[in-house]
């Protein structure tokens, strides 16, 4: 191929490439950031050159006259379209829910006992708010007790069964304190009496605060019990008597045996008569020697000794078993392997502690069938059911906030049946607040009503309260 033809073809290929580049619009340089930036307005494409310049004379592509004006505001776009930080990966546990703050306490209650022969209680009710309040104070008396003195304004009413309660209706000015008092009839010495007291709203439905105190009689000096000397203990006396009888039986048997031998020897020595030592013409035949039999002790001696030994063994065994049973600590409560802590049982008004919470049941009131639900603000109960409201104090004794659940709080009915907390009625009794929704903060204490819907006319016999599924929990006996 001639050289001129080869040059023309190379020039034609180069011209075609320049035409393609001229047809493509001029694009801005790629932004260094990863964030998407708005596309700048496209530049007007240059018309294709009719006569391409030679390759050597081709000028380099000219830079834009004003790069700041033609480029988009990269820094501003980066600030405006800054991506949000990534969320926590799914494998990480979500942050623990913070406990909700309890509503501010407006009334506080404190109960103390007095050192007196008969039970006496002193109650202090304080209004810590800046406004006057109407409150109803109720003191639950121990079962079987009766009041002998009540401070002004209080009255005694039966609370059902063998219990009695004292009620005061007070008007407390702002930042004021009222002191109340009760005295009960003397009881059996050594019997402790617990009287819980609560301050309620004016209608008596929602508790402000509760407190409790246990009266005990003055301790009397207990005489020191000394152990009896050995010769005054029944097992020792029985063992000594058995040994004495056994020795007496052996001595009697030995004496009787020796006496028999002496009688036989005397008979043999005097058998020949007065002329036994004289000679005779006719020799006497030799007398056969008597056969000696081994004497056995009499039957009554063996039977008596066996009876004495048996009595001694039985007495010693009974004394040992009595001492071992008396040394058993009846106050210890057994635990099973799966439970956390030790199960505790107690009466109303006594603080009972389990693994995480300290529960105190101050009182329980059951309404009429089908009426309690409407009175508490909730839905009406079934015709054959009624609602029992328990005033419970809960204290978190751990160093961390703890959740608790309504299904773990139970009321046991006669026959072993039980029901859990009625959530809707409990929420209505707490002014619409779900007390189980948020965990309890460390070291906090709340007093709240728990409502149980039971069937039949018999009230619950026990309340079972616990903080967790594997907690041993506490049981409170209802009066």
313 with 387, same domain: the answer is: no
pLDDT of amino acid 283: 57
| Residue 451 tokens, joined | 């409502």
What distance in Å separates the CA atoms of residue 217 and residue 192, rounded to the nearest whole number? Answer: 7
3-state SS, residue 92: coil
316 with 428, same domain: the answer is: no
Higher local confidence (pLDDT), 260 or 474: 474
Mean pLDDT throughout 275-289?
A: 55
Mean pLDDT throughout 26-43?
A: 47
What CA dihedral angle connects 270, 273, 275 and 279, to 10 degrees?
-70
The closest of 112, 117, 124, 110 to 184, measured between CA atoms, is: 117
Q: For residue 165, give the CATH number of its domain.
A: 2.60.40.1510
354 with 473, same domain: the answer is: yes
Q: How far is CA 350 from CA 41, 164, 216, 395, 414, in A?
A: 83, 17, 14, 13, 23
Indicate whether 45 belongs to any domain. yes
Higher local confidence (pLDDT), 2 or 172: 172
pLDDT of amino acid 52: 44
- The radius of gyration computed from the CA coordinates of the chain, to the nearest angstrom, equals 52
Indicate whether 424 belongs to any domain. yes
318 with 369, same domain: the answer is: no
pLDDT of amino acid 47: 44
66 with 147, same domain: the answer is: no
Indicate whether 165 belongs to any domain. yes
pLDDT band at 73 (very low <50, low <70, confident <90, very high): very low
Mean pLDDT throughout 433-450?
A: 94
Name which of 59-73, 229-243, 262-276 the model is least confident about.
59-73
3-state helix, strand, coil in the chain (%, to 5): 25, 25, 50
Indicate whether 262 belongs to any domain. no
pLDDT of amino acid 225: 58
Indicate whether 94 belongs to any domain. no
26 with 130, same domain: the answer is: no
Q: How far is CA 440 from CA 14, 74, 436, in A?
A: 83, 51, 9
Indicate whether 307 belongs to any domain. yes
pLDDT of amino acid 239: 78
Average model confidence (pLDDT) across the chain: 75
Indicate whether 92 belongs to any domain. no
Is 327 buried (19+), middle (13-18) or exposed (0-12) by CB count in 10 A? exposed
283-292 residue pLDDT tens:
555 556 566 6
60 with 144, same domain: the answer is: no
What distance in Å separates the CA atoms of residue 390 and residue 450, rounded to the nearest whole number? Answer: 5
Q: Range of 43's domain?
A: 3-80
Is this prediction's pTM over 0.95?
A: no
pLDDT surpasses 60 at 126: yes
Q: How far is CA 478 from CA 69, 319, 368, 411, 460, in A?
A: 86, 39, 18, 10, 7
pLDDT of amino acid 381: 55
Q: How far is CA 120 from CA 47, 360, 397, in A?
A: 112, 21, 30
Q: What are phi and psi of 91, to 5 degrees?
A: -70, -20
The number of folded domains in the chain is 4
424 with 351, same domain: the answer is: yes
168 with 239, same domain: the answer is: no
74-89 residue pLDDT tens:
333 334 344 444 444 4
pLDDT band at 417 (very low <50, low <70, confident <90, very high): very high
Name which of 209-213, 339-343, 360-364 the model is least confident about.
339-343
């Amino acid at each position: 191929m001639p050289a001129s033809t080869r040059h023309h073809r190379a020039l034609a290929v180069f011209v075609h490439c320049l035409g393609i580049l001229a047809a493509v619009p001029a694009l801005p340089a790629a932004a260094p950031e990863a964030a998407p930036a708005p596309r700048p307005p496209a530049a007007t494409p240059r018309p294709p050159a009719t006569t391409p310049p030679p390759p050597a004379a081709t000028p380099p592509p000219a830079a834009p006259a004003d790069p700041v004006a033609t480029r988009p505001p990269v820094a501003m776009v980066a600030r405006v379209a800054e991506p949000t930080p990534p969320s926590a990966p799914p494998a990480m546990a979500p942050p623990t829910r913070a406990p909700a703050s309890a509503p501010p306490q407006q009334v506080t209650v404190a109960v103390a006992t007095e050192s007196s022969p008969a039970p006496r209680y002193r109650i202090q009710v304080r209004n810590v708010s800046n406004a006057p309040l109407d409150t109803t104070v109720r003191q639950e008396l121990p079962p079987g007790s009766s009041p002998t003195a009540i401070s002004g304004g209080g009255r005694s009413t039966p609370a059902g069964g063998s219990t009695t309660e004292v009620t005061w209706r007070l008007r407390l000015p702002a930042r004021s304190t009222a002191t109340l008092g009760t005295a009960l009839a003397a009881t059996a010495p050594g019997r402790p009496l617990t009287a819980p007291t609560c301050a309620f709203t004016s209608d008596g439905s929602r508790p402000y605060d509760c407190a409790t105190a246990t009266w005990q009689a003055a301790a009397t000096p207990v005489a020191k019990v000394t152990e009896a000397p050995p010769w005054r203990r029944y097992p020792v006396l029985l063992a000594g008597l058995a040994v004495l009888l056994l020795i007496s039986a052996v001595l009697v048997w030995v004496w009787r045996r020796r006496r028999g031998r002496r009688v036989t020897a005397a008979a043999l020595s005097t058998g020949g008569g007065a002329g036994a030592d004289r000679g005779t013409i006719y020799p006497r035949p030799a007398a056969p020697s008597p056969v000696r039999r081994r004497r056995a002790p009499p039957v009554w001696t063996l039977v008596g000794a066996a009876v004495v030994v048996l009595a001694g063994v039985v007495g010693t065994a009974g004394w040992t078993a009595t001492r071992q049973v008396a040394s058993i600590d009846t106050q210890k409560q057994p635990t099973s392997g799966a439970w956390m802590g030790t199960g505790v049982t107690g009466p109303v008004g006594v603080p009972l502690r389990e693994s995480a919470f300290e529960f105190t049941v101050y009182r329980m009131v059951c309404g009429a069938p089908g009426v309690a639900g409407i009175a508490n603000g909730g839905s009406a109960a079934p015709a054959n059911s009624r609602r029992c409201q328990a005033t419970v104090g809960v204290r978190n004794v751990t160093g961390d906030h703890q959740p608790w659940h309504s299904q773990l709080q139970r009321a046991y009915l006669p026959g072993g049946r039980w029901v859990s907390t009625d959530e809707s009625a409990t929420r209505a009794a707490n002014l619409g607040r779900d007390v189980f929704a948020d965990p309890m903060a460390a070291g906090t204490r709340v007093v709240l009503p728990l409502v149980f819907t039971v069937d039949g006319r018999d009230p619950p016999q026990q309340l079972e309260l616990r903080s967790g599924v594997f907690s041993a929990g506490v049981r409170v006996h209802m009066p």
